[in-house]
Amino acid sequence: METPSQQQKTRVEYFEDLLNRPAPELPPDISSADTDLPINCDRASKAEIKRAIGILKNGKAAGPDYIPAEAIKADTETAVNMLHDLFNKIWKDEIIPVEWKEGILIKLPKREI
């Protein structure tokens, strides 16, 4: 059985190997799509944000911000207004918070049945 530090070392080695591969000598020959996909690149509207909040699932673990879905849903209008302001600032400044680019791996133990 590996110790936690050995497990961490194993994961680091695995992801370094997986994510740090050299570029292929011959890039794949992939032609462009015939049509553009209908992707809306406009600013997020309050209605879109409200819809996204509405489909959040209750009872799930909070993310790195420690804000559970129930807290956001408790006062939807305030959450919509705050997120709308935040998203518009990000859109205008074209700077994504560094924290949003981080990937966090969490080891979850298997449930005993």
Q: Is the distance from CB of 87 to CB of 94 less than 8 angstroms?
A: no
Dist CA 49 CA 58 (whole Å): 17
Q: What is the pLDDT of residues 65-86, one digit of tens each?
A: 889 999 999 999 999 999 999 9
R_g over Cα of the chain: 21
Q: What is the pLDDT of residues 25-61, one digit of tens each?
A: 898 888 888 888 888 888 999 999 999 999 999 999 8
Write down the pLDDT at residue 74.
Answer: 95
Write down the pLDDT at residue 94.
Answer: 92
Whether the pLDDT of residue 11 is over 80: the answer is yes
Write down the pLDDT at residue 113.
Answer: 61
Q: Is the distance from CB of 63 to CB of 102 less than 8 angstroms?
A: no
Q: What is the pLDDT of residues 84-110, one digit of tens each?
A: 999 999 999 999 888 888 877 777 778
Q: What does each C-alpha distance from 11 to 1, 7, 20, 21, 65 come to in angstroms?
A: 15, 6, 14, 16, 24
Q: Supply the DSSP symbol for 25.
A: S
Residue with tokens 């996909």: 37
